Every structure is written in structure tokens, then in C-alpha cells.
A and B are shown apart, each in its own frame.
Chain A
Amino acid sequence: MAGLELLTDQGYRLDGRKATELRKVQARMGVFAQADGSAYLEQGNTKALAVVYGPHEMRGSRSRALHDRAVINCQYSMATFSTAERKRRPHGDRKSTEMSLHLKQTFEAAVMTQLFPRSQIDIYVKILQSDGGNYSVCVNAATLAVIDAGIPMRDYVCACTVGFVDETPLADLCYAEESGGVSSLALALLPRGGQIALVQMDARLHQDHLETLIEAAMTACKGVSKVLDEVVRQHLQEASVLSRE
């Protein structure tokens, strides 16, 4: 079986991008009136819907409440129709639980939770179509939703995956690349200060390459943040036009 050539000698990837180019990002905020905040984000063919409720009183057991800050509750799920082969359980499997945990950690680092002691913020993310980089798309979508909900954050949280092929880092992997045996790294960044909210990598990589890989991931994240910023500004403009009327 001739393995897929992930990066041609001329520097093209499977889908025609160059190594550092991101997929096309399109997003809308406020797609879901019932929630406090919501956003829909497409990054290439990976599409996610994020919904935010809160901050509100603790639901369920009050004992989980923290006296100095808000609890962030994340739930990640994938639509049954999101992958090429139908998925049986939409959420609750180990992968989803892990992903929920990662999202929670990311947003605990970014949201100014100390402003809302003894309360709770719920973030629900659903992958509608999955084509690689699910984690980063979720983070990006959730960021927009949190902003839409008006919850103060330190900065945008932007996430991006990078892979390492032929000594070159590839930004924003698609599914074909992820499954092609690339060692990939997901990174969530607070771009303005350059702080890293979360790094995740469960492949093997020589330590010498780690730095270049993280460097590439940060550049990619900054690219994403520009797009998100534009989306937010556009949304605000529309919203202010509407409210003026």
C-alpha cells in the first residue's frame, strides 16, 4: 500500500495547502437566541456549534460550588452524522469525556472566573461535521460563544493543531493528515500575551523538534485569532446597527 504522501516535494499538502496555511475559517455568533451565548464555526470541513449558559447559580449539588470563583462545566459531543462512518454514541464515551476535560481546563485558564464566585458557567459544544482538529475547532467556537455571552475573558483563546512531516511542521491538520500517522500537537493560546492555555500531544516526537513545532502552532493560533477578531467586530457592528434602530 503506497502510503499517502502528506507533503509533496514541491511543498503541497493533500488538499493543496502549503505547510503553514490554515483551512478556511468561517464563523457566526449569536446563532441560537435561547442561550446566553452561541456561535457556529467552520474550519474547513470541521463544523462545530458552541452554546454557553451562565454564569448562573449552581445547578445540581451545591457542594461543588467554589467560594472564590465560578465553576466551568463543559460538555463535548459529536453528532452521530458527523463522521464518514456513523458513530454509535454521541457523547459519554472516553474520548468525549477527555475532550470535555481539556475544554474545561482551557477555559478555566481564559475566563475571568473570579468575577463570579459561587456560580457556574456551562459550555456545550457539538461537532456537526468532523474533519480533523476537533479540539481546536471546539475551542475556537466556544471562545466566540463565551464572548457572545458577554463573559469577560483575559483574551481570545485560539487553538490549532500542528503536525510534523518530513522535518516540516504542518499547520491545521485535516482528517486525512491526522489519520496518516502524523505526530500531531494541539495548542491553545492566549495570543496577545503569548500564554499557552493548553498543549496536548500524545504522539512520539523527538525533543529537538518540539520547539519548532510549538513555534509553528503559535503562529497558526495567531492567524486564527485574527480571523476570530474580525468575526467578533463584524458581529458587534451588526448588533449595534440593529440596536440603534
Chain B
Amino acid sequence: MIKTEKVLHLKSSRGRKVRVVREHYLRERVPCFSSLCQADCENDGKVLPGDLTHYVVPDAEVVVNYLEVLEFPELQGLVITQTACQALHSKGRRFCDRLRNLLKDQRHDCVLFANEFQEYSYCPREKAESQEKWQTRCVYAAAVWYYNHLAGLMNVVMITEDEEAVSRFSSLNSGVFVIRVQDYLQNFWPELKAAHELYSSITQVLQEKEGEDSQREFSEHLPAEVLEAGIKSGRFIQGTLNVSKHRPQNEAFITNQGLSTKNPGAEAPLRSSFLLAEPAPTLDNLWEFWAHSYFRFSASDLSSGVLVFGSKSRNRAVHGDMVVVELLPKSEWRGKVTVLTEGQVDEKSGDDSETKAMPTGRVVGILQRNWRDYVVTFPPRDGTQSQSRNSQRILVIPWDRRIPKIRISTQQADALQDHRVVVRIDSWPSTSLYPNGHSVRVLGRAGELETEVQTILMENCIHVPPFSEAQLREMPVNSSENPWTVDPAEAAERRDLRETHLVFSIDPRGCEDVDDTLSVRSLAGGKLLELGVHIADVTHFVSEGSLTDLEARSRATTYYLADRRHDMLPSVLSADLCSLLGGVDRYAMSVLWELDAQSLAVTKVWFGRTLIRSSYQLHYELAQALLNGEEAEVPELARVDPEERDTKLTELTEALEKLTHIGRHLRAQRDRGGALELEGVEVRAQLDEEKNITALVPRQPLEVHETVAECMIYANHWVARKIQEVFPYQALLRRHPPPRQELFSQLVDTAQARGFAMDTRTNKALADSLDRAVDPQDPLVNRLLRMMATQAMSQAVYFSTGAQPEDQFYHYGLALDRYTHFTSPIRRYADMVVHRLLTAALQVEQGAEPAKTPAGNKDLEELAEHINNKNRAAQRAQNLSMGLFQCLFFKERDPEIDPRCVADGIIYAIRDNGVLVFIPEYGVKGPVYMRNKEGRVVSTGPDGTCEWQTGSVRRYTDHIITTSGSGSATFRLFDHITVRISVLCTNCHADSLNLEVINNKLHRSAAPQQPSSQGRNQLVQEVVRLAEEAQEKAAQRPKLPREEREFQQSKVPNLYSILEEIRELALMDLETASRVCPTTA
């Protein structure tokens, strides 16, 4: 142990200047993480390659200000010093996390050098030396040490922004060059245009900052110590700022989510992360601790959130920030506005249309900024004229309405007119009405299909670059001249089911990537049944920590957009080697149950790796036909002689029958527990539309769908039990928390309007009452009610078992005490994690040490959080892209003439100045106004046609009445009306659909309701075609690859996965919910 010198540090805390003495230990051996190292440093983890021309050591100031430039993967051999890392600490945790991710990222060539703990590279701060100067000196010392340590084998370049440092240090050592960032970029990376632009854009922002005028627009934020004390004493409330989508100017809410996610229930098994967050109660602060928990109780009254009204009280907080609010006195509390969407009602008339006053507060400080990259649109020329005196600064409008306008400085304003650009916010000083930012990347001209799709991806933080060379190199090869074969060594370790089991898959027609297969057979002379579920063994091909694994982890899921999909794994795996195709040998992970043939009780379960060969690749219709005893052509048996064919066919049919029998039993078992059938026939179809695979789903779902789904749920359930048993604190499970009762109020009220009573106390009661609420005349009523029930529920989420108490593991929708995802590893990363856990669990059980210890609770929880976020983003992106295509579809048509722009709608909610309508034909939901901006109301003529007249609107709980000169009209819940669809074009945001009532009767052509699916599918095809035509005309860009268009044919690999997805994602995004019914959001 090498311990030396102690060093003095001056430090101020709690506002006062305090002199603190801290020890500082230095050591001779600090790993350098270079492959050129001559001194046998313990370099584990990432190592800088030795074949570079130089290493770069950025100055602290450079890291702080130009971290984004350093993030370019092209910059290699980056050595970040500890000094710089600490300087970044002062800028906030967000930046630290970014740097840390950069350092962890295997794909990026940079390391951290702990220079301040190295005996020879450490320099103590001298008296009266400024911090910046000292940091620069430290970094230079580190650079020199590097050069010497590597015995001069590698040149070291230090980049700095400090002129003085350049002149002072550049000539001191021969191998160590000190230059400015700009010179560095120009000399070493002249072709890296993007970096240059980013650099100049940041520089400009920094210069602007210096010349700020000082007229104050907002009150200053309180210092962090005051905030912390305030939160502890209960004076302030901490939470995430959520800006209302409908009134982004004025309304924002604070959700206490911050508290609940950080401290998962006080009775949870306390883990270290929790302990970090909260100081332990010692005798001294015991009282404080009590007081704290007391106030937290009282804060739970605020569970519905705190309203922040107006931009002054929002005080520079941006959507998503972690903020601290102070409650205003009760006399200043106000309610939310329930009038439909923005611009319709001004503030003066606001009072009467507000709900009852809710806690209102103002932001006093921001704990953590959550700024991400925003897509903005440059305004057209005339919009910039007010800025003309200073043409460099431009206010750009973010695509997301919840984000305020951003001021950026650029010289390319003219060139970028009407373009969508990615920007980052840098700061928001109290002297400025708008935040300052800089541009990062240009996406393209607004309104073009490609640009819009990129925008959607960007806005949801989805990055899907094509798979890199290095990643593809890791993949096994399977080509016609070099076919992939089963490795005999590997085969010996697996259980061989090729001869013993009849394995088959049931998937949608034309499916390429099969990730699950089934088998069933009789054992012990018919006394036992053996059910088997065999899942593609993806983790055999993708080892943990490989580049492909990292990429899959960061993607977390396959993204399905309306016209394309972005795979999680390279296609050689997803469509070939991991796909359990018929007639070829494949590796699998299997679960085999032995069931009693009579009672179907489980007597034995076996988990393990297997080798299978699927005999039949069936599709659903075929399987159902076989079950029904109809004549069906099995392609695999086409060439077999008739006699053999018959025996084989009976064999297969028998297996299917057994399977169906088991499926029914399992379903009944779960129903008794209270499983919700949210995917009820209609809803299933509706959500399928969003998945856009409707061509594959028949309107009448077949029983075999359910059978397959049940088997998969059963497999998931048993795997969850297994891994939780072996790893009680570090298993990845999926839970679905029970919904809050108050969220059901809309459902209950609406159902009451139609005379149905809803019992929402338990999932069983809810399922029963939903089954009862059927209107024989109108099947849509039940569908709508189920949709509302779905919206009231929270989403199912992944979690690590160590982070939740055991009674929280319950899956509400499926009525299972433990559940996970195991059956689709090709397109979900969570399944891959579960596969690895299961493998490790089996190894532990055999008494062997697992090859790699599974991730700890904390890492796993982090991963689960990441996957949840990505899933939500994927869902949002999918919905947005569907919306985009809808808009593009209707944009091409004239709503006045085209018959396709008129459709049947059903009213499902009442608002003050209008109603919310669902259009089954296109699956669109939206508001219909009864009173327009001029204050005119809808009035109906004798034949039901509607027009605008002056009059008034009155709202009741289950209907709305408009009164005008020509009489009054009533619109009730669940009434059918005819609406016209047009597109509201906005340049800067996403276009939206505008619905307008034209008749209060059912739409004529709606009676023979065509399968809604077709409308959807055609819509996408048509829009893609139009976009292509436009491109061909312009001949600007190459055509969309043909494959991309073909993808829409088999969007989702197989139907089971879809069903399962629906089951859970049916528990739809709250996003959607809030868009549809602003009051319950």
C-alpha cells in the first residue's frame, strides 16, 4: 500500500466558508489503459489501441464545454482526465452521466485516467492560483506523464481553449503537443464536417453568453441547500414537471412520481441505492427523520399532482425536469381547464369551465434538468423579420409543443428555412424569456416523409444506425456455399428432441422469423401428457457483452413503424439461424411439463437447452382447419404417399387436439383467478391495426390463437417462478400494478349512461362486469368500454425482484403472481436477459458456478428501467408514425368531395364545448367541437345535417345540448354521428386530423362495415406510394428500398407475440390516454 501526502482543500458548504482538510492519497501505479503500456499496468476493461497516430487529452474546460464534439465516435484515443471529470461535476449530474456512458461504451475509443491519484502527474494547487489555471496545469502534467509512461511510443496531443496554456506549454516537451481545439479539428479531422459545425455552433453560444444583457425576466432559483431543507421540512414539493399537451403555454403539472420511483415503498427490502438516497437516522437527526416521514404522509394528499399555472410560475422549467415547487396560498388555487384543446377559449372565460381548484404552486428551483435533443423547425423568412437587426439569433419552434421556443445562434438561418433540425438546449438564464441552444444536425425539409419519420425517431430518443461491420463480423455465417451446421460438441450438451418429439410451430401465414414452437405427446401409456414450449436460443449466438449484445441492449426492442421496422438483432439471426424453421436443426431453450392426463395438474417441469427440428410450420388458419376436421393441405406432406400422409396427419391432428384441450384448461384456470379479457374480440382488432398487421388477423379470432397464447403465458409464468426461486433478489420479472380506483371514474360514469354497472374493485369483478356490458344493438359500446378500462390501467413494467416487495410482483391483467417475458428473444431484449438468467439458474442448480455471475439487483433495475423506457418510446413512435400516415393520407384528398373523408363516429366522452369521437373505420379518436372559435354552435336541420349558427352549448353528464335559432340538438354518449375528416396543417409540429360533425345520424355507407383493417393497410401503402412518386418526380433522392415496403406484409413475426403484446400493451400508453381525455390525464 502506497500512501503519501495529505493536501489542504478549501471548501464552503451550507453557505458559509469552511476550511476543510481532506486527505489525498497518491500512488505510483495507476492504470493507463493503453495497449502500449510498458509497465504492466492492470488494464482491465477498455484499452486504447496502439496503432493510432496520437492520443488526445482534452483540457477540463474543453470537456465541460465541448463534450458533444468529443462524443464523435471518429475521434479515437481519447484520454479523459479525472480533473476534467471533476470539473464536469459542477455542471450537473446529467453531464456526468453522459460522460460516464461514453466511457462505458465499448464502441467508443476513450478511457479515464485518474491523474490526481498518480504520484507524478498530480500537482497540488498553488496559493492564489485560479481553478482554471490549476486544472489546465494538471491536465498538462497528465499528458506529459502519458507520454513518458508509454516511453515516447505515442505522441500525445493536449487540446485546450486557453491561449496562454498553448504558448506556455507547447514548447516544453517534444512529444506532447498543446493546441487549440479548432486547430486540432482542422489538422487531424478536416473531413469530419459535422464536428466542425458542432464546434462552431457551441463556440458561438459561449460567446453569446458573455455578452448577455441583464434585464431579469424570471425570479432566480433558490440554492440547492435551501431546496433540500425545504423538501425535508415539507415546505416544498419535489416532482417531475409535466407540461400539458393541450395548453402548453399555461398548464403544467407536478407528479410525485419522482418520490415513488426513487423510494419503492418504505417497506421494500432496503437496498443500498435506497440507503444512499436517504441518510440513516442517527440519534441526532432522528427527530428530523420523523418529521420528514410525517410530512410525506401529508404530501400524499397531493397525489393528483400540483398545478403550475403560467410561464412565470413555471420559472424556466422545461417538460421532464425534476423541479421543486412551493404551494401557493389556497386562495390562489385554480382548476384545470376541461374545454377542448388550445386556442378555443381564452383565459377570461376560463373560470367557469374549470374543474374544482387543485393545489397550485410555483417552481422555486430545479433539481435536475432532463434536457434531451429536440427537433425544431426553422421559421420561414417572414417570421424572422422581427429578429432582423440581429440576424444571427433565431427563435426556432420545437416539434414537441410542450417545449418552449429555443433561441439559437447560427449563420445558416436562410439555408435552413423550413428544415427540421436537431438542437440541444444549453442554458436558460433568468434574464431571458427563451432558453438558448445550438444546432446539432439537420434532418431535412419539413413535410417530407423521410424527415418526418426521422423526427419521430429523434423525438423518442430512438437511435437505430445500421449494424456496423464489427457487429456483423460477430455473427455466424450461413450462406449457400458455407452453410451453418450444428456443432457436435454443442449438440452433445443439449437434450436432443429431434427424434423423440413432434415439434411444430403455429404462426401467421408467411412468417419468416419463428421464435416459438410447441410439442405435445403422451407418456406412460397415456397417464401423463408432456407439453413442451421451445424458444429460439438467441443467447447462444449473442454472448453477453459482445458488440451485438450491446447494440441490442441499447435498442431493447424491435421498433415497428407504420412503413418500416428496425430490428433489434441483425437479420442473419432474426430471420435465419434463430428462427425455428421447419425441417432444419435449430438450438432452442425448452420448457417441458409433465401433466396428469386427467386433471392436467403439473407433476414435473424440466427447463433446459435442446436441439430441435420443427416438423411442421403451420399457420393459424391451417391449424384451425385441421382441428375442425376440414380438408386441409399441409405443405410438408404434399410429397408423401397418401397412406403415410394419413397416419402423419392423424398424428398431427391429435397433437393439436391435446394442445387445445390444455389451452382451454389453462385459460379457465386463469379466468378463475380474475384474468382480464381486455383483448376482447374488438379491441384486439383495433390494436392490431396499430400494429398494422391486420391483413394477418381475421376478424373472427380462432381458438388456436388463444391456445398458442396460453401455452406461451404458461411458459413465461413457469420461467418467472424458476428464476425468482434461484435468484430471489436479482431476477427480471414483469409486473402489472393494479390500477388506482379513481382512474376508473370515467369508465363507471360512461357505462352508467348506458345503464351498465361497473364493479372495478378487483380484476375479476371488472372482467365480469365488462362481459355483462354488451349492447346487442351496438357492438361498439362494449369495445369502447373495454378501451376505457384499458386506458385507466397502468402499464405493465419490467423490474428486478430485489427492488420491489414480494406482494408487488402480481400481474393484474393476467392474474398471475409472477410473470416475465421469455418467449420472444428475437425481438425483445428482456427475453434475452431472462434466457441468461434461466441458464445461470440451471447451472446453479446443478451445483456449478454460473459461467458469469448474473447482474446485481441495482444493475438489473437500471436495465429494466431502460427497457421500459425504450418500450414506451417504441410504442409512442409507433402511434406517432401511424398518425403521420393518417395525416398524409387525408392531406392528399379534398375533404369536400372525397367520400373517404366522411365516416361514421361514435361519441364516447362529453366536454364543455364538444365531444370526443371514435371512428372505427380508421381507428381515429379525436375531438369534435360543438362551438367554434367565433362562438357559433352546431345546429341540426330536419334531415340531420349540421351547420354553424349562433347559439349556446350546455353540458350534462351524459349528453350535450346546443341551442340556436333553428332549435336545439342533443348529442348523447354512444350516439353515432357522421364526421368529416380533414387535416390541420402546421409547419412546425406534427399535422393533426380535424373532425367536424356534418350529420347527427349514422353515416350511410357505414352500415356494412368493411373490415377496418383494410382501410388501414391501404392507407399506409397509398401514402408510401405517393411519397415515392413525389420523390421520383423530384428525382432528388434514391427510391425507398423495396424491402422496406414489403415489410409491412409481415410486420410482426408471429401472431402469438402480437397477442401477447396486445394483452400487455393493451394496457396502453398513458400518452394515448392523455391525448384522448385531457381531464383524466
Task: Check if B132 is an interface residue, CB within 8 A of chain A.
Answer: no
Known contacts: A9-B112, A16-B25. The answer to whether A167 contacts B275 by CB under 8 A is no
B residues near A15, Cβ cutoff 8 Å? 22-25
B residues near A206, Cβ cutoff 8 Å? 269-272
Establish whether residues B23 and A94, one from each chain, have CB atoms under 8 Å apart when the complex forms: no
Give the distance in Å from the alpha carbon of A61 to the alpha carbon of B117 in the complex: 56
Establish whether residues A12 and B117, one from each chain, have CB atoms under 8 Å apart when the complex forms: yes
Establish whether residues A10 and B31, one from each chain, have CB atoms under 8 Å apart when the complex forms: yes
Of A5, A16, A44, A205, the contact of B275 (CB 8 Å cutoff): A205
Of B89, B103, B270, the contact of A205 (CB 8 Å cutoff): B270
From B802, which residue of chain A is reached at the shortest CB distance? Answer: A206
B residues near A208, Cβ cutoff 8 Å? 729
A residues near B117, Cβ cutoff 8 Å? 12, 16
B residues near A237, Cβ cutoff 8 Å? none
B contact face: mostly helix, strand, loop, or mixed: mixed
Most chain A CB inside 10 Å of its own CB: which residue of B3, B19, B27: B3
Task: Check if B501 is an interface residue, CB within 8 A of chain A.
Answer: no
Known contacts: A2-B93, A84-B18, A183-B272. The answer to whether A202 contacts B112 by CB under 8 A is no
Among A17-25, A67-75, A101-109, A133-141, the stretch in contact with B: A17-25
Establish whether residues A45 and B21, one from each chain, have CB atoms under 8 Å apart when the complex forms: yes
State how many angstroms separate the Cβ of B224 from the closest Cβ of chain A. 4
Of A1, A12, A167, A174, the contact of B114 (CB 8 Å cutoff): A12
Known contacts: A9-B103, A16-B27, A203-B275. The answer to whether A84 contacts B19 by CB under 8 A is yes
Establish whether residues A10 and B114, one from each chain, have CB atoms under 8 Å apart when the complex forms: yes
B residues near A129, Cβ cutoff 8 Å? 21
Establish whether residues B92 and A2, one from each chain, have CB atoms under 8 Å apart when the complex forms: yes
A residues near B19, Cβ cutoff 8 Å? 84
Give the distance in Å from the alpha carbon of A24 to the alpha carbon of B271 in the complex: 31
Establish whether residues B96 and A2, one from each chain, have CB atoms under 8 Å apart when the complex forms: yes
A residues near B100, Cβ cutoff 8 Å? 9
Establish whether residues A165 and B276, one from each chain, have CB atoms under 8 Å apart when the complex forms: yes
Known contacts: A1-B224, A45-B6, A95-B284. The answer to whether A8 contacts B275 by CB under 8 A is no
Known contacts: A9-B100, A167-B856, A202-B282. The answer to whether A21 contacts B112 by CB under 8 A is no
Known contacts: A16-B24, A131-B23. The answer to whether A167 contacts B272 by CB under 8 A is yes
Which residues of A203-231 are within 8 A (CB) of B? 203-206, 208-209
Give the distance in Å from the alpha carbon of A40 to the alpha carbon of B186 in the complex: 61
Establish whether residues A181 and B279, one from each chain, have CB atoms under 8 Å apart when the complex forms: yes
Task: Check if B116 is an interface residue, CB within 8 A of chain A.
Answer: yes
Give the distance in Å from the alpha carbon of A65 to the alpha carbon of B277 in the complex: 47
Give the distance in Å from the alpha carbon of A164 to the alpha carbon of B274 in the complex: 12
Which residues of A13-48 are within 8 A (CB) of B? 14-17, 21-24, 44-45
Task: Check if A85 is an interface residue, CB within 8 A of chain B.
Answer: yes
Of A16, A44, A95, A98, the contact of B26 (CB 8 Å cutoff): A16
A residues near B192, Cβ cutoff 8 Å? none
A residues near B729, Cβ cutoff 8 Å? 208
Known contacts: A2-B93, A167-B856. The answer to whether A174 contacts B228 by CB under 8 A is no
Task: Check if A166 is an interface residue, CB within 8 A of chain B.
Answer: yes
Establish whether residues A181 and B275, one from each chain, have CB atoms under 8 Å apart when the complex forms: yes
State how many angstroms separate the Cβ of B216 from the closest Cβ of chain A. 24
Establish whether residues A10 and B112, one from each chain, have CB atoms under 8 Å apart when the complex forms: yes
B residues near A9, Cβ cutoff 8 Å? 100, 103-104, 112
Which residues of A145-204 are within 8 A (CB) of B? 164-167, 174, 176, 181-183, 202-204
Establish whether residues A131 and B269, one from each chain, have CB atoms under 8 Å apart when the complex forms: no
Give the distance in Å from the alpha carbon of A206 to the alpha carbon of B276 in the complex: 13
Indicate with 1 or 0, residue by residue over B275-306, a CB within 8 angstroms of chain A CB atoms.
11111111110000000000000000000000
From B26, which residue of chain A is reached at the shortest CB distance? Answer: A16
Give the distance in Å from the alpha carbon of A24 to the alpha carbon of B5 in the complex: 10
Establish whether residues A17 and B25, one from each chain, have CB atoms under 8 Å apart when the complex forms: yes
Establish whether residues B272 and A98, one from each chain, have CB atoms under 8 Å apart when the complex forms: no
A contact face: mostly helix, strand, loop, or mixed: loop
Known contacts: A95-B284, A202-B282. The answer to whether A167 contacts B858 by CB under 8 A is yes
Establish whether residues B23 and A23, one from each chain, have CB atoms under 8 Å apart when the complex forms: yes
Establish whether residues B280 and A204, one from each chain, have CB atoms under 8 Å apart when the complex forms: yes
Task: Check if B1 is an interface residue, CB within 8 A of chain A.
Answer: yes
Known contacts: A12-B114, A23-B23, A84-B20. The answer to whether A202 contacts B272 by CB under 8 A is no
Give the distance in Å from the alpha carbon of A181 to the alpha carbon of B18 in the complex: 20
Give the distance in Å from the alpha carbon of A174 to the alpha carbon of B729 in the complex: 31
Known contacts: A202-B280, A203-B275. The answer to whether A8 contacts B114 by CB under 8 A is yes
Give the distance in Å from the alpha carbon of A177 to the alpha carbon of B701 in the complex: 61
Give the distance in Å from the alpha carbon of A165 to the alpha carbon of B271 in the complex: 10
Give the distance in Å from the alpha carbon of A206 to the alpha carbon of B856 in the complex: 14
From A204, which residue of chain B is reached at the shortest CB distance? Answer: B270
Establish whether residues A203 and B280, one from each chain, have CB atoms under 8 Å apart when the complex forms: yes
Give the distance in Å from the alpha carbon of A135 to the alpha carbon of B1024 in the complex: 74
A residues near B272, Cβ cutoff 8 Å? 164-167, 183, 205-206, 209
Establish whether residues A181 and B276, one from each chain, have CB atoms under 8 Å apart when the complex forms: yes
B residues near A8, Cβ cutoff 8 Å? 112, 114
Establish whether residues B283 and A94, one from each chain, have CB atoms under 8 Å apart when the complex forms: yes
State how many angstroms separate the Cβ of B859 from the closest Cβ of chain A. 9
Known contacts: A2-B89, A167-B858. The answer to whether A95 contacts B283 by CB under 8 A is yes
Which residues of B1010-1059 are within 8 A (CB) of A? none
Give the distance in Å from the alpha carbon of A171 to the alpha carbon of B856 in the complex: 21
From B11, which residue of chain A is reached at the shortest CB distance? Answer: A84
From A176, which residue of chain B is reached at the shortest CB distance? Answer: B22
Known contacts: A45-B6, A164-B275, A167-B858. The answer to whether A202 contacts B23 by CB under 8 A is no
Of B3, B114, B269, B278, the contact of A181 (CB 8 Å cutoff): B278
B residues near A2, Cβ cutoff 8 Å? 89-90, 92-93, 96
Give the distance in Å from the alpha carbon of A204 to the alpha carbon of B263 in the complex: 14
B residues near A3, Cβ cutoff 8 Å? 93, 276
Most chain A CB inside 10 Å of its own CB: which residue of B114, B117, B856: B117
State how many angstroms separate the Cβ of A91 from the closest Cβ of chain B. 16
Give the distance in Å from the alpha carbon of A8 to the alpha carbon of B114 in the complex: 10
Give the distance in Å from the alpha carbon of A95 to the alpha carbon of B283 in the complex: 8
Give the distance in Å from the alpha carbon of A187 to the alpha carbon of B277 in the complex: 24
From A94, which residue of chain B is reached at the shortest CB distance? Answer: B283
Give the distance in Å from the alpha carbon of A174 to the alpha carbon of B6 in the complex: 13
Give the distance in Å from the alpha carbon of A72 to the alpha carbon of B31 in the complex: 50
Establish whether residues B276 and A1, one from each chain, have CB atoms under 8 Å apart when the complex forms: no
Give the distance in Å from the alpha carbon of A206 to the alpha carbon of B801 in the complex: 14
From B103, which residue of chain A is reached at the shortest CB distance? Answer: A9
A residues near B116, Cβ cutoff 8 Å? 16
From B286, which residue of chain A is reached at the shortest CB distance? Answer: A202
Most chain A CB inside 10 Å of its own CB: which residue of B25, B116, B729: B25
State how many angstroms separate the Cβ of A44 from the closest Cβ of chain B. 5
Give the distance in Å from the alpha carbon of A196 to the alpha carbon of B242 in the complex: 53
Indicate with 1 or 0, residue by residue over B92-121, a CB within 8 angstroms of chain A CB atoms.
110010001001100000001010110000
Establish whether residues A174 and B23, one from each chain, have CB atoms under 8 Å apart when the complex forms: yes
Indicate with 1 or 0, residue by residue over B955-995, a CB within 8 angstroms of chain A CB atoms.
00000000000000000000000000000000000000000
Known contacts: A16-B27, A204-B270. The answer to whether A98 contacts B276 by CB under 8 A is no
A residues near B1, Cβ cutoff 8 Å? 21-22
Give the distance in Å from the alpha carbon of A100 to the alpha carbon of B367 in the complex: 40
B residues near A84, Cβ cutoff 8 Å? 18-20
From B14, which residue of chain A is reached at the shortest CB distance? Answer: A85
Give the distance in Å from the alpha carbon of A41 to the alpha carbon of B96 in the complex: 38
Can you offer 11 A-B residue contacts whose CB atoms are under 8 A? Answer: A2-B93, A9-B103, A17-B25, A21-B3, A84-B19, A166-B272, A167-B858, A181-B277, A181-B279, A204-B270, A209-B272
Q: Across chains A and B, which 7 residue pairs bring their CB atoms closest together, nearest first?
A: A203-B280, A16-B117, A16-B25, A1-B224, A2-B93, A15-B23, A183-B275
Beyond contacts A24-B25, A44-B23, A182-B276: 16 other A-B pairs, Cβ-Cβ < 8 A, are A9-B112, A16-B27, A16-B116, A23-B3, A23-B23, A84-B20, A95-B284, A131-B23, A164-B275, A167-B856, A167-B858, A176-B22, A182-B275, A202-B281, A202-B282, A206-B269
Residues of B within 8 A of A (CB): 1, 3, 6, 16, 18-27, 31, 89-90, 92-93, 96, 100, 103-104, 112, 114, 116-117, 224, 228, 269-272, 274-284, 367, 729, 856, 858
